[in-house]
Amino acid sequence: MKRILKALAPMLAVLLPLCMPAAPASASSSAPGAVEDGYDLWLRYRPLDKAARVQVRPVASAIVAPGAVAGTGAAGGSPAAPPATPLQAAVAELQRGLGGLLGKDPPLAASVQDGAVVLATPATLPALSSMGLKLDTLGREGYLLRSTHLQGRKVTLIAANSDIGLLYGSFALLRKIGTGAAARAELASLDERSAPKLTLRVLNHWDNLDRTVERGYAGESIWNWWALPEVRDRRYVDYARANASLGINGTVLNNVNSKPDILTAPWIAKAAAVADSLRPYGIKVYLSARFSTPLELGATKTADPLDPAVAAWWKAKADEIYKAIPDFGGFLVKANSEGQPGPQDYKRSHADGANMLAKAVAPHKGIVMWRAFVYAHEKPDDRAKQAYDEFKPLDGAFDPNVLVQVKNGAIDFQPREPAHPLFGAMPKTPLMMEFQITKEYLGYATHLAYLGTMYQETLATDMHAGPGGGSATVAQILEAGAQQSARKEDGAARLTGIAGVANIGSERNWSGSHFDQANWYAFGRLAWNPQADARALAREWAAQTFSSEPAAVAQITDLMMMSREAVVNYMTPLGLHHLMGTGHHHGPAPWVANLERPDWNPVYYHRADQGGIGFDRTASGSNAVAQYAPALARQYADPRTTPESMLLWFHHLPWDYKMASGRKLWDELLARYDSGVAQADEMRQRWARLKPMVDARRHEDVAVLLNKQYAEAVWWRDASVAYFQSVSGLPLPAGVKAPGMPLEYYKSLKFPYAPGRG
């Protein structure tokens, strides 16, 4: 039988892939000159130049992985079948990556040899225990990269306490090789250790069951629900590879505006099939749960979380899900917000609702992520205060396996917001950051806006929430090691986490535009280390995605670093916010004032009149500043100490208020709009100069979008200036260009078929 199987092996190697679901044709071939279409993301593994290959081969000539099975991957292309374990995934990725970068497939060796990359844990290679590696400090997911000697041979060691740590370490080694000469120079004397600072690093897919995607601008959902569970698209594995390369370890498959169907048996089976594809890459699946599901399915007469029948239904449902998906992560819940049902419908608190669900999943070590994005039923004096007002009194009331998921700002993923006041205000409750990767309010996938700078801006904000009002950044609060809950009777580590609303879809380049891939990348890398530097991450991404040539990397990085500020300037300068069109959130509409709720109207947020502009959130207005720690509240309460980038977020000021530049506020506002347009123009000019350094197809793709972005920046500027001039009655200063069209023209524009409305 063995001889027969051996004889059939070559034929099976050809036939087995044909039995797999069709995969998108990948440009991951290492052949020089391969057409680039963006599918490979930052995992392109294109051949290094001759000098670089000579530098790398002596430290990556073979792969040794005790416990791995030979033939788990094929260099330079997709494995014949998805790997079964994280160790197999690590070996497959090293074979694929090193084979592509070096132009030669590294063999999987049975014993240690000079120049080998060795993947090992103390369990698979006991000799590690006597090498003083201090692996115990790395936890379950961390890794060590070290140039060392094993059994008298010089090797590159990837060591960890688990196979998933080895997978993360393998991606880290490939990243180092692929990001340029400076990184490769470290290979001969490598000594790097890294462990994630947050436990849960999760993507939230706002994907609907019909494959539409709310706030998605990259095609349909990648989850082909109709074909699941029988057909498992190879794209799921490539999705898992990309996420694992960043350390993302969880994904919520469906929209927070959930449907009851997702928790029925047919849909649980579909989710289980996706989980099977993601599991070898260390990624757990989660589901968004509609709070009223048992009531809507007719299983109970109420959804009251304190009703025993409701609690029993959820417990039985959790048992059913875990039977199908043993490593199911748990539930994400949006409740009592934007019309979604929740515990307040029964005069219960958010804690009552979250804890009922938490008890259902607790026996399976599951968690509940309970969103703090809420609207009060009453018309608020300031929407920015609602989440704090509802959740701050509940600090300490949530079960230990509940995380409260808080948006980065108090409104709604605006181009710029101050950090949410809840960070640092709930020391007894694990808080989980929610960033938006998809650009709902930043020009969709058609505008280049690198969000790494936005994420870092929020994470680096000092909330003055340490002992005695001492320093504590949002990143430190999220990491939460310094603010352990007093309720840890069992000594278990406190949950920490971060979530990003995904920008991934079925389009060939995954995110709708090539540069939007960078926002997925930056989110994942900051999820691993919230104190990482956005510029360094932009350099990493550019080097792996476009070219590792220093000149190209430097210019692309500079372009990325200016991009988000450009968008802020031509959309929402000086702290203005929520000026976008109603519903679709596309384009300027600061004039909208006819919607049912005041806080649905842009005029509610800018409050422009003949006397001035801005939302007064000081003690003379809504007093939202009082929700911040005293030191921060004092800073924001005074316009002279409020950063000008947030000025009109916190203050209603007269048009002639003197700015730091010496200009009047009206003149400064116009200058910021003009600056944004000029920056958008400069971005397309910079990209044009990069043409010799970037492959033709992707260069043209980006150039087309940058031209569209410039045109829309002019539209934003002209429409906004026309409106605010109509309100203020002020003349345009000398040299300032008048809007291209009358205000009524801009008001007349309609977009009934804008994408992303779900």
> pLDDT tens across 248-273, in order?
999 999 999 999 999 999 999 999 99
- Cβ proximity of 275 and 281 under 8 Å: no
Tens digits of per-residue pLDDT, 54-84? Answer: 999 999 999 999 988 644 443 334 445 779 9
Q: How many CB atoms lie within 10 A of CB 691?
A: 11
Q: Which of 561, 590, 592, 593 is nearest to 576 (CA)?
A: 590
pLDDT value of residue 491: 46
pLDDT bin (cut points 50, 70, 90) of residue 758 is: low
φ, ψ of residue 664 to 5 degrees: the values are: -70, 155
d(CA 717, CA 733): 15
pLDDT value of residue 488: 44
Hey, is 405 helix, strand or coil? strand
pLDDT value of residue 69: 64
Across residues 216-237, what is the average pLDDT? 97
* Pairing of the two strands 108-109 and 284-288: unpaired
pLDDT bin (cut points 50, 70, 90) of residue 30 is: very low
Report the CATH architecture of 200-536: Alpha-Beta Barrel (3.20)
Whether pLDDT at 13 is above 80: no
Whether pLDDT at 490 is above 50: no
Element (H, E) at 635: helix 630-637
Whether pLDDT at 1 is above 50: no
Hey, is 356 helix, strand or coil? helix
Across residues 518-531, what is the average pLDDT? 98
Hey, is 160 helix, strand or coil? strand
Across residues 210-215, what is the average pLDDT? 98
| 0.85 exceeded by pTM | yes
Tens digits of per-residue pLDDT, 676-731? Answer: 999 999 999 999 999 999 999 999 999 999 999 999 999 999 999 999 999 999 99
Across residues 3-11, what is the average pLDDT? 41
Burial environment of residue 130 by CB neighbours within 10 A (0 to 12, 13 to 18, 19 or more): exposed
Q: How many CB atoms lie within 10 A of CB 549?
A: 14
The percent of residues in the chain predicted with pLDDT above 70, rounded, is 92
d(CA 588, CA 743): 11
**Across the chain, what does the average pLDDT equal?**
92
pLDDT value of residue 4: 41
The Cα angle at residue 333 between residues 328 and 334, in degrees rounded to 5 = 155
* Pairing of the two strands 153-160 and 402-407: unpaired
In the chain, domain spans? 40-194, 200-536, 568-615+652-748
Place of tokens 């994005």: 373
CATH of 568-615+652-748, one of 3.60.150.10, 3.30.530.20, 3.90.1330.10, 3.40.50.620: 3.90.1330.10
Tens digits of per-residue pLDDT, 92-113? Answer: 999 999 999 999 889 999 999 9
pLDDT value of residue 378: 72
* Pairing of the two strands 612-613 and 653-654: antiparallel
Q: So which residues are the catalytic ones?
A: 338, 412, 440
Whether pLDDT at 757 is above 90: no
d(CA 72, CA 94): 11
Q: Which of 724, 727, 609, 598 is nearest to 668 (CA)?
A: 724
Tens digits of per-residue pLDDT, 364-395? Answer: 999 999 999 998 767 778 999 999 999 999 99
Tens digits of per-residue pLDDT, 132-181? Answer: 999 999 999 999 999 999 999 999 999 999 999 999 999 999 999 999 88
CATH of 40-194, one of 3.40.50.11390, 3.30.379.10, 3.75.10.10, 3.40.50.150: 3.30.379.10
pLDDT value of residue 494: 85
- Cβ proximity of 518 and 511 under 8 Å: no
